[in-house]
Each structure stands twice: as structure tokens, then as C-alpha cells.
């Protein structure tokens, strides 16, 4: 293709992550909501308080490749804006697509007709059915839900924390447990599940026909003129596997705190509650996590270590090596996966060591290297002896650096 033509066509390509705007909307009146929706928030994506009591919190997705392809680009538009608005509590949904120009509207000298990508269809394919069709319908639903929506399921925990707007005021947050045996919650989850595609890499929709799933939702509760108003903060899906002979092994699958609420401790509050529930229930063997992200691993490590140190889990262990039977005993008592318990034990052993020149550090180094080698036998078996030693040594150094970083955070 001629370079000038290619450069001209590139002007019609839009990064889909930047083109999609997600909004959480609340408001006491439909007129106030409509007015707030008309406000252009594209410049800073920050919360906007309307004088009529409407509130819009806007942000971009981290991923759109499940919807618009692996390159996350949309061709054929200038000034493209894909507005996905949710009622903050009920997640009633409105999809609006707007653009300044579309390529079919322009004259072209190319032999092949130019066609803009379908924007509306791919997005609707991942949304719940029966979304709102007009801005006015959505605004009426938001105004009603701000007054009347209540979280679905059983309230299992509440806590207070500083709100996303900052300041010193502590707001109230509530955690609810739900399952797909509830048709009302299935309908709610259909609206909520789209969010995992935007913020969890590699996420897929879960099977709502399987009642072994449990879902924990976190809501911010505000009192608006004496009436409780709820906004979704985040959620976690947990699958309960069978554990022989008569117990269950829960596994966290999807774990998401929405971007406006991140950085305020909500992920830790939700994780700590789920872990405490597993610890307290005799039907649960231990808690595991499916393909955790680095951010989740960090959060889990901090919270697990704080709990284990507070409960003196490692006080009786002076130095490495530690027998597998002792690790298994710890794992069963504190109901973490064997891999996570081993990791926490290694962090705790490092914390006890005063100097890298000590015998205790040399013993820990050998202990960790043996574990690294055992976990990576398939990758190391084709290397010669010197290369194996180098790879294991490099892995050990990275592990120690990571452990020190975790210790600096607890």
C-alpha cells in the first residue's frame, strides 16, 4: 500500500481501550442524571457531582481484546466514544456510541470500498439482555435504584474505610454472599460479569448453571436523605471443589475491585473475610486461588503474613530446613494451599535471619534452592550442570528480593 494512503488510513484507527468509557451513575432525580450524562467527562475521567444530586464516576477499561480483538483497535472512525453506563448499585446498563466522522461517509479513491468496524454489535454480545434503550429510560432507572436497590443475597460482613473521594470520613461497606440458585442474582450477575472482561486478563464468563459457585459482592452504603443507597465496589467468585472424603476445597476464581475503589483496602477487606470464613468452617479444607495476578499475589502475601505472624504460626520454627510433615501440619491448621504456606514459611524464615553470612541464611538458601529445583525439574533437565546452577541461583536471588519487598510492606 502506498505510504501516504497507509498514513491517511491510520488516522481512522482508534485504540479501543481509550474509546471505551465506563461510568457508575447514581442520582436522586432522572433530570439530574440526564444532565450529568450530557457532561463531557472524557478529559480527566474523574468523579463529577451535579448540583441536582447526580454523581458520575468514569474510568477506562484495562482490556478490550475479548470484544474488539487482540490488537484492541477499531477502524473507521474519528472522535469515537463508546459510553457504557451502569447504575452504580443495580448495574442497569446503557450503551451509547458516538463519533465525529465515519469512513463510509468520506470520499475515497481506493479500488476496495472502505468499511468501518462494527462497534455496537461486539459490545452488545457481552452485555446482559434487556439493557436500557434510551438515556431517559436509563436515567429513570438510576433515580429509582438510588432510592430502592438493595444488594442481593445474605449480608455476611461489614466494615468501615476511607471513601474513594479521600478525606477523613469513614464510609460503611457491606459484603454479601450469593449463589446462582437465586434467579434474581443470576440476572444481576449477567450485568456484572462483563466487568471481568475489562479488568481481568484472560477472564471468561463462569457457568451460572453450576451451583457450586459462590459470589461475594462488596457495596458502599451511603445514606441519602435518610434512605440507604448502594454502589458496587467489587466482587469475588469462588468455586467449591470436592475434597475427599467429606469436605470442600474453595478456590477463588475472579477477584475484582473496580478502579475508582482501588487503593483503599477493599481488596484486603474482602480477602480477609473470605479467608476467615474458610478458617471458621469445618467443611472447608483450605483456600486456593486460580491464576492470580501479581497485584493479587501481593495483596494475598501481605494479608496471609500478617495473619500468620499475629497468630505466631512460625514461632516454634527457628531455621531451615523444615520437614514436609511440619509444613503440611501448618497448612492444615491455617488452611492455605501447600504452595502458599511454603512461600509464607520461607518469608518468615528470612525475617528471622540477621545476616546473609550466617549459617541460618546458608541453610535457608539451600532449602529454597531445593524447592525451586523440584518445582522446575522439567525446565532444568535438559541443561548441563553449570547452567542448572546458574538458573537456580538467579531464581533464588529473585525470590529473596521479592520476599524482602513483601516484608517491607507488612
Catalytically active residues are 290
- Cα–Cα distance measured from residue 350 to residue 363, given in angstroms and rounded to the nearest whole number: 11
Contact 120, 131 (CB under 8 A): no
- Cα–Cα distance measured from residue 307 to residue 314, given in angstroms and rounded to the nearest whole number: 11
- Cα–Cα distance measured from residue 186 to residue 188, given in angstroms and rounded to the nearest whole number: 5
Burial of 183 (0-12, 13-18, 19+ CB in 10 A): exposed
Contact 217, 274 (CB under 8 A): no
Q: Quote the DSSP letter at residue 312.
A: T
Q: Which of 248, 250, 247 is nearest to 237 (CA)?
A: 250
- Cα–Cα distance measured from residue 256 to residue 192, given in angstroms and rounded to the nearest whole number: 11
Three-state secondary-structure class, residue 77: strand
266-280 vs 294-310: helix axis angle to the nearest 10?
50
Q: Quote the DSSP letter at residue 62.
A: S
For the chain, percent helix, then strand, then coil, each to nearest 5?
40, 25, 35
Contact 337, 286 (CB under 8 A): yes
CB within 8 A of 242, min separation 6: which ones?
Answer: 248, 249
- Cα–Cα distance measured from residue 147 to residue 30, given in angstroms and rounded to the nearest whole number: 12
Work out the number of other CB atoms within 10 angstroms of the CB of residue 156.
Answer: 14
Extract the C-alpha cell encoding 272. Answer: 480477609
Extract the C-alpha cell encoding 158. Answer: 461489614
Amino acid at each position: 500500500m502506498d505510504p501516504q494512503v497507509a498514513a491517511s488510513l491510520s488516522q481512522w484507527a482508534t485504540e479501543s481501550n481509550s474509546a471505551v468509557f465506563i461510568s457508575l451513575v447514581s442520582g436522586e432525580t432522572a433530570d439530574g442524571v440526564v444532565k450529568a450524562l450530557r457532561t463531557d467527562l472524557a478529559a480527566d475521567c474523574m468523579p463529577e457531582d451535579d448540583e441536582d444530586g447526580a454523581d458520575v464516576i468514569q474510568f477506562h477499561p484495562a482490556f478490550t481484546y475479548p470484544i474488539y480483538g487482540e490488537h484492541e483497535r477499531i477502524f473507521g472512525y474519528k472522535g469515537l466514544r463508546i459510553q457504557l453506563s451502569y447504575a452504580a448499585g443495580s448495574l442497569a446498563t446503557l450503551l451509547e456510541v458516538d463519533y465525529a466522522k465515519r469512513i463510509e461517509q468520506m470520499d475515497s479513491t481506493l479500488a476496495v470500498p472502505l468499511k468501518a468496524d462494527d462497534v455496537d454489535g461486539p459490545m452488545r454480545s457481552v452485555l446482559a439482555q434487556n439493557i436500557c434503550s434510551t438515556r431517559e429510560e436509563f436515567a429513570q432507572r438510576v433515580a429509582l435504584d438510588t432510592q430502592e436497590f438493595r444488594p442481593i443475597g445474605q449480608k455476611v460482613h461489614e466494615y468501615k474505610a476511607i471513601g474513594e473521594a479521600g478525606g477523613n470520613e469513614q464510609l460503611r461497606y457491606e459484603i454479601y454472599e450469593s449463589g446462582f440458585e437465586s434467579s434474581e442474582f443470576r440476572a444481576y450477575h449477567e450485568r456484572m460479569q462483563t466487568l471481568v472482561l475489562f479488568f481481568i486478563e484472560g477472564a471468561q464468563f463462569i457457568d451460572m448453571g453450576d451451583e457450586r459457585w459462590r459470589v461475594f459482592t462488596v457495596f458502599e452504603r451511603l445514606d441519602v436523605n435518610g434512605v440507604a443507597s448502594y454502589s458496587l465496589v467489587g466482587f469475588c467468585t469462588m468455586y467449591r471443589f470436592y475434597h475427599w472424603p467429606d469436605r470442600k476445597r474453595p478456590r477463588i476464581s475472579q477477584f475484582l475491585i473496580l478502579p475508582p475503589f482501588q487503593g483503599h483496602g477493599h481488596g484486603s477487606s474482602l480477602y480477609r473475610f473470605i479467608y476467615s470464613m474458610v478458617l471458621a468452617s469445618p467443611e472447608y479444607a483450605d483456600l486456593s486461588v486460580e491464576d492470580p495476578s501479581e497485584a493479587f499475589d501481593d495483596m494475598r502475601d501481605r494479608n496471609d503474613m500478617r495473619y500468620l505472624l499475629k497468630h505466631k504460626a512460625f514461632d516454634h520454627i527457628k531455621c531451615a530446613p523444615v520437614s514436609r510433615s511440619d509444613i503440611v501440619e501448618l497448612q492444615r491448621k491455617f488452611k492455605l494451599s501447600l504452595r502458599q504456606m511454603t512461600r509464607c514459611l520461607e518469608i518468615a524464615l528470612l525475617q528471622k535471619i540477621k545476616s546473609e553470612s550466617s549459617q541460618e541464611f546458608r541453610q535457608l538458601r539451600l532449602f529454597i534452592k531445593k524447592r525451586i529445583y523440584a518445582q522446575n525439574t522439567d525446565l532444568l533437565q535438559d541443561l548441563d550442570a553449570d547452567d542448572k546452577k546458574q538458573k537456580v541461583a538467579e531464581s533464588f536471588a529473585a525470590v529473596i528480593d521479592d520476599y524482602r519487598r513483601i516484608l517491607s510492606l507488612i
